[in-house]
Structures are given as C-alpha cells and as structure tokens.
C-alpha cells in the first residue's frame, strides 16, 4: 500500500452555519496541490458519508490506502461503492483475509434502490429522488448519481437545498470542470453574490479552478455595473483555460459589458461568438416540420372537454415576460402553474404514433390524446383539485392550429413584448439545446422563428376582442404590476390575492427552469429591460424585415 503521503491532515472545527460549512469543505481543495491521494485522505476524515465513501472509493482506485486504514475500509464494505473496489485491491496486495471479509459483507440491494428511484421519479417525489440518488451513489460510487441528486435537490428545495449536494459532487470528483461551474452558476442565478465571491476567493486561496474564479468574478462585476473592470478581469483569464461552458459564459459576459459601455457592434460580435461555440446537435428545421405536420391533421369538431374550464395555457415567445408572469400567478392560492411540462408533448406524441396515413384523427384517438394531456397535469399537480391550472409553454403559440383543433375551448394567457427586444434577448441568451432553441443562435433565425410563431397564432386568434385570450404586455406587467395582474386574474376566473406580491420570495425557493429566473428573483425594481434602440443596425436588414409588421401589429411606435 502507498504510505508515502503525510497522515496528519488538519481540519477545522465544524461550524453550524451552512455557508461556513461549505467554505470549510471547499478549503480542502488546497490539498490538491499535494496530489489527489492527499486530497482524498483529507476528505476521508469528513463526517458526511457521501464525501467519506466517495473519497474511500477514489483512494482504492488510486491504490493509495494506508496500511492502518485497512480495517476502516473493510468495515465500510457494506457500501457497494467500497466493496466493489476493496475486494480487487485487497486481493492484489495479498490481503486474502480482508478480501474474504469484504466478499462476505452484504451490501445494498442495487436493483431495489434503482426500482425505488424510478418510482419516485414517476411520482415526482423529489425529496425521495434525492435520498435515493445519494444511496445509489454510495452503492456504486459513480458520479452520475450525484449529478442526478443535484437536480433533485434543487427541485425539492431550491438553491439552498442544492448547495450541499453540488459541493459534494465537486469534492468527490474535483477534476471534473463541471463541478465548480455548476456550483457557481447556480448561486449566481440565485443572486447570491456574496457567496459566489467567497467561493471564488476560496478557489484562489487553494490555487484551484483559477479560470472559473476569474470568469465568475467578472460576472459579479457585470452584475454590479462595473463593466470596464469586468472586461479587464476576463482579459486576464488565459483563453486556453476556458472549456466550452466557461467560454460561452465568457462571451456572454463580454457582450453584456460591451453593451453597457455603448460598444453595440462589438457586443453583437461577442454574442455571435457565444452562439458559435456550441456545435449544433439538433436540426433547427425539425421544429418547423413538427408544427406543420400537426397543423395538417384532420380533426373533426367535437364537444368541449369539461376539463378545459379550469385549464389555461400561457403562451407567447421566450423572453417575453412569461417567467415573471408565471411566478406571480404561481403564488396565488387558487392557481397552480406548470412550467414547460411534458403534457403537450405527451398529447401530440400519442396522436403522432397512431394517426392513420390519411391524417384523419378518429374521435377515440383524439379523446385518448386529450386524456394524456390532462392526466400529465394531474400527475404533476400539488395544489387542490379546484385550483385553476395554467400550463406555461411559450413556443407552443406556433402550434395554434393544432391546439385549436385538439382543445378548442382552452383559454390562453399570451405575453407580448416588442418583437425587436424579444429577438435580441433570445439571441443574447444561452439556452439548453433542442431543435427550437437551435433557431435562436442567429438574429435571422430568431426573427424567422418569431415571425412563424406569430403567423401561426394569428391565423387562429385575433389581438382584439378574442374571448379566449388575455394579452399581457411585458411593459405593463413591470410598470403597472397590480392593475395588470388584476385584469389577468379576472380573466382566469379568480380574484386578487396579496400573495402574488410575494412572488420574489417564492421564486427564490423554486427550481430555476429558465434563464429568466435570475431577473425574476430581482423583482420589479430592475424595470423594463430594452436594448432595441441600440441595435437598429440588426433590424434594418432583409433577414429581419418581417418583424416590422409585428411591431405595427402590436401597436409599438417603432
């Protein structure tokens, strides 16, 4: 066994405060300067079982277990992550008695854990999913279960519940560059600037993750309005130290800083480079093809579905204020919102699977597809059955023809923002990849998608006197919050409740599904966000000319 590493590792006294505890644990990263074995030896002394077992598994893989730790390892063989690594290790160093003890030690029933995790996922029991993800990690010692635990923790209890899991994932796999990025990005998205700064300082003191610390310090400078300093900070980060995700954020921050400094063409160039970093893995045309296919289904008029009376959809276009509106409505005691669920996809996919080649949708197939939609919302519901339910899925405005045929009596809350601001904001945002979002990597692509979506929507609906739609302008929502919400709530069918005024605090506890959450958690004080005046050079081109009709259609001055 390797006994060359020093055995005396100093650890600080545990502090009950979560932030202090987090920083204490991250301080162990300084041991990486002395090599992975020394680092993991320090981690093995932690009280947290996930850290301890994760470190033990890593040390076994590194063949860096000390002789006097053999008993500790054998006693920990009830955890599968240790057992599956300890047996070959002891056997290789001729410790056959220890290998026999390890072999005879019963461990967790992996299949039972996996089955329970699957059932918890189907039940959307995020607390149980988190518990089982951690158990699965202790059983296998592989990082994918910690990554899954990160997601479950944030969905269960927001960023506060997720911090310890993100930290554990980072510490157990310190060479994975996603670890520090994920932790810092989550905290920045939660507007926890002080904690982000303290973590960056900890990384710098430990001489680890220098690129991550540099980029996120620049992010804090951008967030606080120190744009020149942010650019200087970014310039000090060696380009070859930036992985794909860090480089994406690097150019996004540069774009934001240059925009604030009035260098609009340079800002546009930075955002172009941001969008060019990630290689396309989805065909942007697939989104259009799906819409067109669904709009051509032959669906006979049927009786109203009674469930539609208590269900609405929130549509519009990304970056139109839908996240702000949804978060405000979500805290109303008589409203339950659903943010970009699988309900629509489940309904559409059912029809797609069984529709005859003629495109004629039989009544029985239509009814089953409707059941799939409402059943999915029932499955995800947390509030009482008499709540009004609102399904937020902005880009489904492009599916207006299909929705009108399948759910003709559903009502809509539709968000409007100046088309130029919408297209520009989409282009400047880094979205998760899919066929729809792939269209937003260029101004021309975003403009075309916007035009297509609005054309589809207004082929079915009208802007004035449409009894099935309430239109909510982003500017009105920000500048005249209460009257705009009162009008929207009246359309939905519920009265005003002061609970909606607490949407910022509620958003702080929610899982941030979209990039807009950072601003939502800042509240209304940030005011109306608009940059279109500075980017007229983007909207005086043939590629964006089609937006002019929508500017006029929505009654904007320019």
Q: How does pLDDT run across 408-420, given as a tens digit for each residue? A: 999 999 999 999 9
Q: Helix 244-260 vs helix 178-189: angle between axes, to the nearest 10 degrees?
A: 40
In which band, very low, low, confident or very high, does the pLDDT at 153 lie, cut at 50, 70 and 90? very high
Quick one: pLDDT at residue 474? 92
Q: Is 224 exposed, middle or buried (0-12, 13-18, 19+ CB in 10 A)?
A: exposed
- From the list 415, 423, 412, the residue with the least C-alpha distance to 546 is 423
| Per-residue pLDDT at 169 exceeds 80 | yes
Q: What is the pLDDT of residue 59?
A: 97
| Cα(98)–Cα(327) distance, integer angstroms | 57
Q: Cite the DSSP H helix spans in 11-69.
A: 18-26, 36-43, 49-62
DSSP of 421-473, one letter per residue?
A: HHHHHHHTS-PPPSTTGGGGGSHHHHHHHHHHHHHHHHTT--SSS-TTEEEEE
Q: What is the pLDDT of residue 8?
A: 29
378/278 Cα distance (integer angstroms): 36
Q: Which residue has the higher pLDDT, 4 or 483?
A: 483
Q: Identify which of 195, 140, 132, 200 has the alpha carbon closest to the alpha carbon of residue 163.
A: 195
Q: What percent of the chain has pLDDT over 70?
A: 93
pLDDT at 302 over 60: yes
Q: At residue 64, does pLDDT exceed 50?
A: yes
Residue 192 pLDDT exceeds 50: yes
- In this prediction, residues 21-38 reach a mean pLDDT of 95
Q: What integer pLDDT is reported at residue 521 of this predicted model?
A: 58
Q: pLDDT tens-digit profile of 506-521?
A: 767 766 655 555 566 5
Q: Tokens for 106?
A: 């019963």
The stretch 136-161 carries a mean pLDDT of 94
Mean pLDDT of the chain: 91
What is residue 304's three-state secondary structure?
coil
Closest CA to 510 of 382, 415, 389: 382
Read off the DSSP letter of residue 526. Answer: G
pLDDT > 90? residue 500: no
Mean pLDDT of 390-404: 95
Q: Is the pLDDT of residue 542 over 90?
A: yes
The pLDDT value recorded for residue 15 is: 35
Where residue 490 falls among pLDDT bands split at 50, 70, 90?
very high
Reference 171, options 19, 24, 316, 66; nearest CA is 24
List pLDDT tens digits, range 356-381. 999 999 999 999 999 999 999 999 99
- Smallest CA-to-CA distance from 275 within 259, 254, 252 is with 252
Give, to the nearest 10 degrees, the angle between helix 49-62 and helix 126-140. Answer: 30
- What pLDDT score does 527 carry? 65
pLDDT band of residue 538 (cuts 50, 70, 90) is: very high
Instruction: Report pLDDT digits (tens) over 316-356.
Output: 999 998 888 998 998 999 999 998 899 999 999 999 999 99
Query: In Å, what is the CA distance from 195 to each residue of 184, 185, 229, 303?
Result: 9, 11, 20, 55
Angle between helices 178-189 and 210-223 (to 10 degrees): 10
Give Cβ neighbours of residue 296 (< 8 Å, ≥ 6 apart). Answer: 359
Average of per-residue pLDDT across 79-96: 96
Residue 387 pLDDT exceeds 90: no
DSSP string, 351-364: HHHH--TT-EE-HH
Indicate if the pLDDT at residue 7 is higher than 50: no
- Classify residue 308 by its DSSP letter: G
The Cα 315–Cα 326 span in angstroms is 11
Span 102-129, pLDDT tens digits = 999 999 999 999 999 999 999 999 999 9
- Digit-coded pLDDT (tens) for 208-254: 999 999 999 999 999 999 999 999 999 999 989 899 999 999 999 99
What is the model's pTM?
A: 0.89
The pLDDT of residue 28 is above 80:
yes
Whether residue 14 has pLDDT greater than 60: no
The H or E element that residue 392 is part of is strand 388-392
pLDDT in the model for residue 511:
62
């Amino acid at each position: 066994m390797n006994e060359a590493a020093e055995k005396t590792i100093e650890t600080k006294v545990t502090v009950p405060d979560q932030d202090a505890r987090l920083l204490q644990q991250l301080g162990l990263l300084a041991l990486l300067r002395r090599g992975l074995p020394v680092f993991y030896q320090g981690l093995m002394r932690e009280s947290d079982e996930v850290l301890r077992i994760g470190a033990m598994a890593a040390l076994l893989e590194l063949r860096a277990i000390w002789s006097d730790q053999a008993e500790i390892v054998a006693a920990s063989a009830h955890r599968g992550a240790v057992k599956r690594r300890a047996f070959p290790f002891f056997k290789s160093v001729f410790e056959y008695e220890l290998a026999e003890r390890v072999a005879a030690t019963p461990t967790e029933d992996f299949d039972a854990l996996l089955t329970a995790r699957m059932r918890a996922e189907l039940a959307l029991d995020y607390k149980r999913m988190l518990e089982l993800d951690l158990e699965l990690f202790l059983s296998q010692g592989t990082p994918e279960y910690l990554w899954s635990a990160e997601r479950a923790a944030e969905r269960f209890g927001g960023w506060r519940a997720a911090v310890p899991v993100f930290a554990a994932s980072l510490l157990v796999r310190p060479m994975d560059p996603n670890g520090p990025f994920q932790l810092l990005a989550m905290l920045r998205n939660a507007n926890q600037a002080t904690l982000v700064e303290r973590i960056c300082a900890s990384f710098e003191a430990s001489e680890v993750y220098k690129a991550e610390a540099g980029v996120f310090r620049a992010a804090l400078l951008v967030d606080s309005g120190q744009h020149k300093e942010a650019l200087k900070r970014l310039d000090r980060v060696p380009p070859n130290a930036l992985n794909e995700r860090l480089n994406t954020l690097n150019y996004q921050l540069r774009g934001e800083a240059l925009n604030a400094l009035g260098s609009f063409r340079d800002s546009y160039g930075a955002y172009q480079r941001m969008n060019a970093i990630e290689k396309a893995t989805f065909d942007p045309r697939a989104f259009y093809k799906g819409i067109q296919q669904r709009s051509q289904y032959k669906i006979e008029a049927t009786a109203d579905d009674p469930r539609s009376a208590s269900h609405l959809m929130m549509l519009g276009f990304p970056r139109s204020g839908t996240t702000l509106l949804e978060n405000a409505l979500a805290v109303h005691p008589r409203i339950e919102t659903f943010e970009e669920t699988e309900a629509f996809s489940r309904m559409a996919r059912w029809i797609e699977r069984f529709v005859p080649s003629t495109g004629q949708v039989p009544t029985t197939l239509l009814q089953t597809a409707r059941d799939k939609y409402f059943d999915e919302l029932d499955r995800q519901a947390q509030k009482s059955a008499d709540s009004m339910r609102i399904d937020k899925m902005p880009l489904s405005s492009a599916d207006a023809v299909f929705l009108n045929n399948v759910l003709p009596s559903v009502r809509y809350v539709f968000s409007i923002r100046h088309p130029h601001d919408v297209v520009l904001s989409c282009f400047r945002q880094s979205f998760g990849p899919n066929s729809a979002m792939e269209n937003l990597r260029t101004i021309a692509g975003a403009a075309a998608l916007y035009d297509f979506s609005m054309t589809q929507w207004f082929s079915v609906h009208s802007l004035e006197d449409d009894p099935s739609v309430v239109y909510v302008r982003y500017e009105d929502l920000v500048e005249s919050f209460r009257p705009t919400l009162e009008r929207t709530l009246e359309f939905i069918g519920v009265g005003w409740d002061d609970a909606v005024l607490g949407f910022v605090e509620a958003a702080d506890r929610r899982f941030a599904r979209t990039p807009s959450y950072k601003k939502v958690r800042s509240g209304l004080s940030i005011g109306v966000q608009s940059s279109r005046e500075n980017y007229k050079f983007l909207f005086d081109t043939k590629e964006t000319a089609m937006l002019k009709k929508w500017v006029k259609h929505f009654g904007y001055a320019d």
